[in-house]
Structure 1
Amino acid sequence: MDVGDHAAGTGHVPVMLGRVLELLGPALEAAGPSRAPVYLDATLGLGGHAEAVLEAHPRALLIGLDRDTTALERSARRLERFGDRVRLEHAVYDELPGVLERAGLPTVDAALFDLGVSSPQLDEADRGFAYSYDAPLDMRMDRSQRLTAAEVVNEYPPAELARILREYGEERFAQRIASAIVRERERAPLDSTRRLADLVRTSIPAATRRTGGNPAKRTFQALRIEVNGELDILRRALPAALGALPVGGRIVVLSYHSLEDRIVKRVLAAEAADTTPPGLPVALPEHRPRFRLLTRGAEPASAEETTTNPRAESVRLRAAERLREAS
Structure 2
Amino acid sequence: MQDIPHIPVLYREVLEVFCDIKSGIIIDCTMGYGGHSSMILEANPHIKLIAIDQDQSAIDFSTKRLEPYKDRVVIKKGRFSSVIKDILKEGDIREIKGILADIGVSSLQLDQKDRGFSFSSDNLDMRMDKEAAISAATVVNEYSTQELERILLEYGELRNYKKIASFIVNNRPFSSAKELSEATKHLMPTGKKIHPSTLLMQAIRIEVNNELGELESLLNTIEEAKFPNAKVAVISFHSLEDRIVKERFNRWRESCICPQEAMRCICGGNHSYGRVLTKKPITAKEDELRQNPRSRSAKMRVFETDSGNE
Verify the 8 A CA contact 2:85 2:221 in the aligned structure 1.
Answer: no
3-state SS in 1 of match to 2:155: helix
Matched with 1:157 is 144
Correspondence 1:180 to 2:180: no
Q: Deviations over 1:178-233 (max 9, x none)?
A: 11111111xxx2111111001211335xxx43545322110100000000000011
Matched with 1:233 is 214
Partner Cα distance (2:191, 2:72) in 1: 51
Where do residues 274-289 of structure 1 align in structure 2 (5 Å cutoff)? 274-275=255-256, 284=268, 286-287=270-271, 289=272
Matched with 2:238 is 257
Where do residues 113-192 of structure 1 align in structure 2 (5 Å cutoff)? 113-131=101-119, 133-185=120-172, 189-192=173-176
1:109 counterpart (97, 102, 114) = 97
1:19 counterpart (13, 18, 29) = 13
Q: Deviations over 1:265-317 (max 9, x none)?
A: 11111001121657769x95623x21101111212111221111211111111
Matched with 1:197 is 181
1:223 counterpart (196, 199, 204) = 204
Matched with 1:92 is 79
Post-superposition shift, 1:245? 5.9
Paired AA for residue 228 in structure 1: N
3-state SS in 2 of match to 1:84: coil
3-state SS in 2 of match to 1:15: coil
Counting matched residue pairs gives 304
Paired AA for residue 214 in structure 1: H
Correspondence 1:43 to 2:30: yes
3-state SS in 2 of match to 1:209: coil
Paired AA for residue 120 in structure 1: L
Correspondence 1:321 to 2:279: no
Paired AA for residue 233 in structure 2: V
Verify the 8 A CA contact 2:274 2:305 in the aligned structure 1.
Answer: yes
Paired AA for residue 19 in structure 1: E
1:83 counterpart (61, 70, 73) = 70
Partner Cα distance (2:249, 2:128) in 1: 26
Segments of structure 2 that go 5 or more residues without pairing to the other structure are none
Paired AA for residue 105 in structure 2: V
Paired AA for residue 197 in structure 1: S
Partner Cα distance (2:148, 2:125) in 1: 16
Segments of structure 1 that go 5 or more residues without pairing to the other structure are 1-8, 30-35
Partner Cα distance (1:134, 1:91) in 2: 25
3-state SS in 2 of match to 1:51: helix
Partner Cα distance (1:248, 1:276) in 2: 21
3-state SS in 1 of match to 2:70: helix
Partner Cα distance (2:229, 2:74) in 1: 23
Partner Cα distance (1:129, 1:97) in 2: 26
Matched with 1:5 is none
Identity of aligned residues (%): 36
Post-superposition shift, 1:101? 4.1
Paired AA for residue 128 in structure 2: M
3-state SS in 1 of match to 2:52: strand
1:55 counterpart (42, 45, 56) = 42
Verify the 8 A CA contact 1:152 1:223 in the aligned structure 2.
Answer: yes
Structure-2 change in CA distance of 1:295 and 1:81 (3 Å): same
Partner Cα distance (2:227, 2:145) in 1: 47
